[in-house]
Amino acid sequence: MLRPTQHHKAPGKDKKRSWVKDHGLLLVNAGLFVVFLGGMIFSGAANYSEEQQAHGQPATGLGDFLTSGNFWEAVFENWESEFLQMAMYVVLTVFLFQRGSSESKPVDKDAPQDEDPRDARKTAKTPWPVRRGGWVLKVYEHSLSGLLALLFLLSFTLHAFGGTAAHNEEQLSHGLPEVSTWEYVRSSQFWFESFQNWQSEFLAVAVLVGASVYLRERGSPESKPVAEPHYETGA
């Protein structure tokens, strides 16, 4: 009797496939970031060159755009709003609730996120800061919001410097005096650039929080199970 042929998979390929599956969400988002950043760079460079020519200046190349205030202002103006949104969202969901939303902790019962790590059973797999305790654990307890807040402040600062450079380029093209970074940060233009992005970020969060009460996306952890009642709160 013939035995069915057995196909043996190479261990290395299985490990590689497993690693990609385990990190797929991060890898795809990082890849999309690179693609869209590249699109922004090349389209922005073309637009920057066109604007320079419209002001009677010679055409510019990719390097000129990447070292211009326009590029740095455009990048960090957007990063600033994203990190502000995420930092605020992480902190607000500690204290605030939305009954029925998959984005909220349960309203009427304890959530595992609220458990005191000092009372947890320690094992070799427990994160080192939890095993270490003390001030290290205190910092680690709020490390996610801390990182996002730090990235927001860094982006906010670089937006200010990049925006100042871009503003001064515009000033010089019109024969007007340059301004300092402090003067630019105090200007209506700087805050208009910031607020126009901030408002859209929090609108998107509000829509997601509210819509997840009544709407579903099967298979997504951002949605409750499709058959779950509307006012069942949390994951």
| 173 and 218 together in one domain | yes
In the chain, the percentage of residues whose pLDDT exceeds 70 is 93
| 149 and 35 together in one domain | no
Task: For residue 55, name the pLDDT band (cuts at 50, 70, 90).
Answer: confident
Q: What is the average pLDDT across 95-108?
A: 90
How many other CB atoms are there within 10 angstroms of residue 162's CB atom? 22
Single-letter amino acid code for the residue at 61:
G
Task: For residue 46, name the pLDDT band (cuts at 50, 70, 90).
Answer: very high
Enclosing domain of residue 132: 68-235
Q: What is the average pLDDT across 12-18?
A: 69
Q: What is the average pLDDT across 200-213?
A: 94
The length of the chain is: 235
| 123 and 229 together in one domain | yes
| 174 and 233 together in one domain | yes
| 31 and 128 together in one domain | no
pLDDT at site 8 = 55
| 82 and 131 together in one domain | yes
| 138 and 213 together in one domain | yes
The verdict on residue 170 lying in a domain is yes
In the chain, the percentage of residues whose pLDDT exceeds 90 is 71
The verdict on residue 3 lying in a domain is no
pLDDT at site 147 = 97
The verdict on residue 4 lying in a domain is no
Q: What is the mean pLDDT of the chain?
A: 90
| 171 and 58 together in one domain | no
What DSSP designation does 107 have?
S
| Contact call for residues 228 and 102 (beta carbons, < 8 A) | no
Least confident of 109-118, 157-166, 203-212: 109-118
pLDDT at site 108 = 84
| 21 and 83 together in one domain | no
Residues in CB range of 127: below 8 A, 6 or more apart: 140
